[in-house]
A and B are shown apart, each in its own frame.
Chain A
Amino acid sequence: MVGIKSYGAYIPISRMNRDIIGNAWGTRSIGGERSVANHDEDSLTMAVEAAINCLNGEDRQGVEGLFFASTTSPYKEKACSSIVATVADLNKEIWTSDFANSLRAGTSAVRAALNAIKSGEAKSIMVTAADCRLGTPRSVDEQTFGDGAAAILLGDSDVIATIEDVYSVSDDITDVWRTDQDTFVRSWEDRWVLINGYTKNMKAAISGIMKKSGLTPKDFTKVVLYSPDARSHLDLAKSLGFDPRTQLQDPLITTIGNVGTAQPLVLLVSALEEAKAGDRILLASYGDGSDVFIIQVTDAIEKVKNKRGVKRSVGLKMMLSSYEKYLAYRQLVSLPEEFIKLFPSASVMWRTQKWVLSCHGSKCKHCGLVSFPIQRVCFGCHSRDEFEEVRLSDKKGKVFTYSLDNLAGGVDPPTVQTIVESEEGGARIYCLMTDCNPKEVNVGLPVEMTFRRFHREGGFYNYFWKCRPAR
């Protein structure tokens, strides 16, 4: 039985009321809110969050592959899947691969993972999908788009849902695109895009899999359709014979927005959160064609509880106070230059990735002291190289002391600086706090770790861990 073993999702905590965008430009608001990645987030960090949420309670050593799918990878040349795998603390002897350039990349990655598992090449592969697309300022896209990520762990045993069938169509159509020169998403005339792109391809793929499997619309409990906006999927579902009121999965356009490549998997997670054993789900993605899956929920779904998925993410939010902050978060405006005295070094980052990326501390085998970063000579007893590495990224902690710093600069001052005492042996971690209201920070505040983008000194992205209030 090949199928889904676990899932996780991540939607950034920042939301922007679309009226803010409408007011900024003097245009109509489409209503509702959209998610906005924080200034220290990108598709890679969001994929990490989803991956770690998905891995909660799973055997990380058993994962034999990790795929990263996005149209907004921070790198044009360099595999983000390898970064995600390292940060998620997976084995080195695994297959990592990036799927890019299409909103269908997430489901394409799922197909590739399924094939690898079916062929016996791997027992378990994780697919992550994330996007942080930019709509042209003042465009409807700017309002419709949202940022987010999802992760699905696929395997050949203990599955919560089996994948019964897969079907794809491919169609070259320049309806929605970005060239290698573009920052913002472009599209052709919307009527043409809807009729000849989205509707035509989705219909072809869904009809195709129905015919292939011999199923009819009434055989499905839920239909999860890629939804470019709040309405198009309704018309599509109706025309295919589904009941939009009972069968259609909410595309979350009004609460988080269209999260691009991540959307089909985010909505699948959303469907699985509500699913019962025996449910049959149809999942369809879109982008120069369509991938369609028939998914059958198993009894094991009842065992999956407390995963950080979509429902929780949608409920957790902090409202962005202004459109200008959104522009600053996405680096669409220039901010005052900073006087940062750091030296970038790819080789240093590589040499220290066990603690920079995997968030390992050292636990002394003699005196038990836990230190971060990894210390070769124990601070407590001077033993040399007598330690075991312990992962701190999934351990909670408490604020030991803090400062709200107006001198430290950054996109969103004050910078919240903290000394965290980890529940893992009292290790101390000096880190910045993110996703917080500075007023809620106190000595003793419970926190958790989160992986964030720091800077691009040296021409490459430097990532590290921060903390955020435990939620």
Chain B
Amino acid sequence: MESIKDKIAIIGMGCCKFGENWNKSPEDMIIEAAYEAYEDAGIDPKDIQAAWLGTVGAHWVGMGGLALAEPLKLQGIPITRVENWCATGHEALRNASFAVACGMYDIAIAVGFEKLKDTGFPGLGIGRGMHPVMEMRRTAPSSFAFIATRYFHTYGLSPEEGKETIAKIAVKNHKNGSMHPKAHFQKEITLEQAVKAPIIAWPLGLFDCCGNSDGAAVAIITRADLAKKFRDDPIYIKGIGLSQNSMMPHFQPGFDWTGFEVTQIAAKQAYEQAGIKNPRKEIDLAVVHDCFTITELIIYEDLGFSPKGKAKEDIDAGTFALDGELPVNTDGGLKCFGHPVGASGLRMSYEIYKQLQGKGDKRQVKNAEIGLAHTLGGHPSVSCVMLYGNDRG
């Protein structure tokens, strides 16, 4: 099995302002992100040879690549719509990367977007199941509340201790997001605010949940050996891991509800490709799937940043703060950008891309060379880990 390491370079990226974009259509957001990426890559729309679109919205299912072709007037090139739960944005980039790596195309574009604020519901929906009754009232907050309840139980955290621990993650991410002009939420919050917020799905409160936002993000890629023709500081893909569970955790016998094997496996795949042995030491920053604060906590453990059951110690020590040993969610994460599903994986990659180019502004992580972006989706049942570096090894 070959590795994807150093075969693909990102030469341009774009990201629209995330938020309650009442006045913008999906098309408006795609245009905003795509033209930023064109300019960043220094290419003309006509240079694009193939496109991948990631979106999960019911409007677009069964509509092929139309939602991308129309706004950008991508005439005549192949467009493929992909979806893979919350890893959808990553999935667009992942598939584009394979097509370019095999030599079929020199320049491809990966686009992800979602328009959540047109549904009339302040969440991802209730009962999003594959069967008429099996998941009647399943919500995303409850699926992760299962984790919080069981994690607190297993590792002996009282509800108060547990809630305070995950609230620290919310405080950290809001602080980072306050420094990002494209974030939906750009305000800091206090620990007390986070702990005392109204309960959405016990034990998760309002500030434990990510926002519900609209957004779009875009990546333009080429073969690594062509990258320097476009710019001096392309960012290289070092590893791509993707893992899918064979049974919904809710029904999976023996599932321990304190972590996700899919994240662990996706990380292992990516680390092996990139040659990473000690992720905590070798990775300079990570942007991960903090759909809920408890999710970020278990991700620390699943990605090998913290030993199993010990994330609290690292959280208390500030390990993952902007000035910590391994900054996580330097842009504010899903907590501040919300989770327009198809866009999220690419929005995370946008932050890593900028940081590795030294364009992190007030959030710049010193000497950032290797970055990780992670998505986790479904019940959850799928995870994608992408590793990026600014040096073609």
Contact = CB atoms under 8 A, between A and B. Distances in A.
A407 B149 contact: no
B95 interface: no
Contacts of A342: 127-129, 132-133, 135-136
A344 B137 contact: no
- Of B135, B136, B252, the most chain A CB neighbours within 10 A belong to B136
- Of A343, A404, A409, A462, the most chain B CB neighbours within 10 A belong to A404
Contacts of A349: 132-133
A352 B131 contact: yes
A345 B129 CA distance: 13
Given A356-B133, A403-B201, A428 B255 contact: yes
Given A379-B246, A408-B126, A417 B138 contact: yes
Contact of A371 (B121, B127, B253): B253
Given A406-B200, A443-B153, A379 B139 contact: no
Interface string A406-427: 1111100011010100000111
Contacts of B202: 403-405, 414
Interface string B47-68: 0000000000010000000000
A242 interface: no
21 contacts: A340-B136, A341-B125, A341-B129, A342-B127, A371-B253, A379-B252, A402-B145, A403-B141, A403-B142, A403-B145, A404-B199, A405-B141, A406-B201, A407-B123, A407-B141, A414-B201, A417-B146, A419-B146, A427-B253, A430-B138, A443-B150
B103 interface: no
B77 interface: no
B317 interface: no
B129 to A, nearest CB: 6
A350 B136 CA distance: 17
Interface in A142-198: none
B253 A426 contact: yes
B105 interface: no
Interface string A354-392: 001000000000000111110100011000000000000
Contacts, number: 151
B141 A464 contact: no
A408 B146 contact: no
Contacts of B253: 369-371, 379-380, 425-428
Q: Which 10 A-B pairs have the closest CB atoms?
A: A403-B145, A430-B250, A339-B121, A404-B202, A401-B150, A464-B133, A408-B137, A403-B142, A405-B201, A341-B125
B110 to A, nearest CB: 27
A154 B9 CA distance: 77
Contact of B257 (A345, A356, A409, A419): A419
Contact of A426 (B125, B139, B150, B254): B254
Contact of A343 (B132, B250, B254): B132
Interface in B96-124: 119-121, 123
A401 B149 contact: yes
Contacts of A338: 126
A401 B153 contact: yes
A167 B307 CA distance: 77
A403 B251 contact: no
A410 B142 CA distance: 14
Contacts of A409: 126, 137
Given A408-B142, A427-B253, A443-B150, A340 B133 contact: no
A407 B134 contact: no
A406 B255 CA distance: 25
Contacts of A404: 145, 199, 201-202
Contacts of B254: 426, 428
B257 to A, nearest CB: 5
A348 B132 contact: yes
A460 B174 CA distance: 46
Contacts of A430: 134-135, 138, 248, 250-251
Contact of A405 (B131, B134, B137): B137
Contacts of B203: 403
Contacts of A348: 131-132
Given A443-B149, A443-B150, A463 B133 contact: yes
B247 interface: yes
Interface in A11-26: none
Nearest to B146: A401
Given A342-B128, A419-B250, 4 more contacts: A339-B123, A406-B201, A419-B146, A426-B254
Nearest to A399: B149
Nearest to B257: A401
A423 to B, nearest CB: 13
A454 B136 contact: yes
Contacts of B133: 342, 349, 356, 454-455, 462-464
Interface in B150-190: 150, 153
Contacts of B198: 406
Contacts of A454: 133, 136
Interface string B30-55: 00000000000000000000000000
A379 B255 CA distance: 12
Nearest to A337: B120
Contacts of A463: 133
A457 interface: yes
A140 interface: no
A342 B58 CA distance: 12
- Of B129, B132, B201, B252, the most chain A CB neighbours within 10 A belong to B132
A79 interface: no
Contact of B132 (A371, A427, A457): A457
Contact of B127 (A340, A369, A414, A443): A340
A127 interface: no
A454 B127 CA distance: 11
B136 A407 contact: no
A400 interface: yes
B287 to A, nearest CB: 26
B130 to A, nearest CB: 9
Contact of A407 (B126, B146, B147): B126
A377 B58 CA distance: 30
A349 B139 CA distance: 22
Contact of B136 (A400, A403, A464): A464
Contacts of A408: 126, 137-139, 142, 201
